[in-house]
Chain A
């Protein structure tokens, strides 16, 4: 006891009670006021926040992915469209018995281990009402099997959506590209909830990627009132999606498909350009991938199969494949001579080779061509003619002409990337290697070897510009406001000389007699090319190991006297131009006489073992079965 207190009596106890009762009552009242203040704080000061949270509880907003715009060819034919696709999603918030539901789905939809792992991963990452895709593009039967069990599968949402469809499959793989679900980085960048909506795809390659903003459209939205258990009470509003805009290409879908098929089992590319407008009519690169597979989520095995193939089906060879142009640049070089003042009649003697400095440069024709003028130099593809006059005219003249005709140039095409190669010149070499230009470099460059590297599209543009004398620019999309085509300013008779010489290549005494068109009144002009891949010590270039064989090239335009179409064909390791010009012939035939061209193709395909799809399916099956890839067929 700290100190003595007065004794407690009944009276003092009564006073104590009253006092303390008032304290208790006062405390209670204070607490009551505090509670009132707390309530006022929550419901007035924080009202906005909680009203929003209440609303977001109540209303569940589901985005409807927009239908993607079509990609159509010059005649309005669909090259990429949408088809109805059935899919199954999971709404994580409504999924109460995860193991049971996933187990059921696994059986019903025949999901493999990979798929289950991905679903589990997505479920852990997702939250709330954001759906997680279980399987896309399922069959009607699978869809129905899930639909009837829906009452026992809480959290499962079957949906009818759209999937991208490419009617000609692999034939347009490189040209159109493909779509795919956005990945984590793309979502982080865009911060758009649409990106994590199942069924939404963005363009991942080529035109699909480039025209993404045009093709996408606007998503629709469905607002529903839901209970805490996810039961939809009523629809509040639905806003339908706005389909993306159509992209009109200059491509001729039929020609594109034909060209892709005509390449057959080879690894190569075909580019066809309208000489008058610059419209690209076909841009085929084979072997290719099926963009339909990519768009519905390509399997690991299929991707591996594609990436391990030595024919590089994942590379768009028309723009990213760089090749020494070989003799296909000879008409260009000849044009540079003419424009620089060399008369077409100027000739030199070809004895099968020419000594330059202390080294002898051989002509491909070791027996020699005898006396060669410009026309013969082109149609017989005499190397010595060009060795001789190139030294006389100089590399600068040739390089400048190459660039004017499109070589080494990057074109304003709607593609994510193009490799534009090299047109060597003394200045270029000095800058790049720090060494002076040698005469041997000129000699090499003049027959399209050495430092010279071009892509097939550039070759086609070069052919079109040579044929017309105009600055033909390649276009992939139709546009009403194109600048009119400008002239290169060549003398008309110079154009005539080159046209005639290239006509002779096919229709005269030239190197590609078998390229003659089977069409009355239409004569195709062209130029063969063979690009050496390795030195002769590793192979002759004509046979042996596939990867050591020469590339076969061919540029062409037709009709030769009033050029309408120009084309370039490059066949990798084709063993020479003989692999390229028959393809150019058939593709050009297709433009003038489809039936004849189709008849020829059907014959070839029977020999190759079917259409592109059939051969790809068989090849993939064989690869999966563990069998070694069959050696590349048709080493023509």
Chain B
């Protein structure tokens, strides 16, 4: 047998294959959504994926100590960007979520999904174990989550704010904070729900109400959910066939290449395609969860688990939305939906988790 050079061996071929499979499937759907054309979406998405994949593999070579050291700095930097976007939007006279970086429109709120996980992971990694049940274990974390979540809510972007909160909360949970804190927070949250609801923007309130009763407004705001369910439901088990989805091709399905791409896929590929995609995400998340469990450092553990949650949150909320289980919040399906921001975030997550995996291979675990 020809010995495989170590440099080649160190490349995570299986993971690359998995990511390529998910994205490749997405490209097929984008090709179909464009009416059987590589333009305007599939080609650009494919090139973008290749670029981000290379980036992720480079990121994977970084020592995780570097991420840990720069976690706070990065977090503060992203908060400044968020404020900048807010001010820019204020100056520009409208809501703005992104900074134009030329090749990609950077949404600082996307970066915050990663920054919050890294910052909290560092915070809890540094926290002395004895302080876990004390007030000092709680308030800095709450402030660190609250500030960016609040800024993102101002944009207003409910979905991303929830994603930031979810990533942060999972890191807090895994850091070993007393369970009853979470229990009481959940109760308090439930009690405050009506107040929170009243603080939402009109259109956000409407989305929530329509989520609760989509048939109340089949041609208005409930249209998205209704048409998405029609697309998925009419696909059946085997789907209508590649390039044969009437819902997406005749424009009944809104956002069929971005947020509702799962419905576009399900219409043409049916339940089989849906289950295959779910299985792909399952493999990805199983890998990253294993990385978290096997991480060598506490920072690595918390960061990998938090980043896993960030990816999962995308997938779960998006699928719940297209299947009518969650309000329309505008969260894309990672790697699948057309768009650079979410792909950048997810591929960064993947790169960092790879770095943590690499790290765990280099030395002994601290906890044994």
Contacts and interface: CB of A to CB of B under 8 A. Distances in A.
Q: Which of A9, A29, A43 has the most CB of B within 10 A?
A: A43
B154 to A, nearest CB: 29
Given A21-B305, A50-B234, A225 B250 contact: yes
A145 to B, nearest CB: 31
8 contacts: A21-B292, A35-B323, A42-B233, A43-B237, A51-B234, A54-B231, A57-B252, A228-B252
A151 interface: no
Interface in B305-355: 305, 309, 312, 316, 319-320, 323, 325
Contacts of B285: 25, 28
Nearest to B270: A43
A20 B173 contact: yes
B251 A229 contact: yes
Contacts of A226: 250
Nearest to A11: B367
A7 B128 CA distance: 11
A20 to B, nearest CB: 5
Contact of B278 (A5, A13, A35, A43): A35
Contacts of A25: 285-286, 289
A10 B278 contact: no
Interface of A: 1-2, 5, 7-14, 16-18, 20-22, 24-25, 28-29, 31-32, 35-36, 38-40, 42-44, 46-47, 49-51, 53-55, 57-58, 225-229, 233
A47 B133 contact: no
Contact of B367 (A14, A44, A233): A14
Contacts of A55: 234
A55 B244 CA distance: 13
**3 pairs of A and B residues whose beta carbons are closest in the complex:** A50-B233, A54-B234, A14-B367
Contacts of A11: 367
B133 A44 contact: no
A17 B176 contact: yes
A49 B230 CA distance: 8
A38 B325 contact: yes
B120 to A, nearest CB: 14
A44 B173 contact: no
DSSP class of B's interface residues: helix, strand, loop or mixed? helix
Given A8-B133, A43-B236, A57-B230, A24 B251 contact: no
B32 interface: no
B351 to A, nearest CB: 21
Given A7-B130, A17-B176, A228-B250, A39 B301 contact: no
Given A8-B133, A21-B305, A54-B247, A39 B266 contact: yes
A50 B229 contact: yes
B51 interface: no
Contacts of B267: 54
B271 interface: yes
B133 A36 contact: no
B320 A35 contact: yes
Given A28-B285, A58-B246, A39 B129 contact: no
B367 A51 contact: no
Contacts of A225: 246, 250
B282 interface: yes
B83 to A, nearest CB: 31
Contact of B174 (A21, A43, A53): A21
B16 interface: no
Contacts of A51: 233-234, 236
A24 B236 contact: no
Given A8-B130, A24-B309, A58-B250, A50 B278 contact: no
A16 B250 contact: no
Contact of B274 (A12, A18, A39): A39
A35 B252 contact: no
A31 B325 CA distance: 12
Nearest to A128: B219
B132 interface: yes
A218 to B, nearest CB: 29
B235 interface: yes
Contacts of B270: 43
Nearest to B240: A54
A232 B133 CA distance: 66
B281 interface: yes
B323 A13 contact: no
Contacts of B28: none
B275 interface: yes
Contacts of A14: 298, 367
Contacts of B282: 29, 32
Q: Which of A1, A9, A35, A47 has the most CB of B within 10 A?
A: A35
Q: Which of A2, A11, A228 has the most CB of B within 10 A?
A: A228
Contact of A47 (B132, B176, B236, B250): B236
Nearest to B247: A54
B303 interface: no
B232 interface: yes
A32 B283 CA distance: 12
Contacts of B130: 7-8
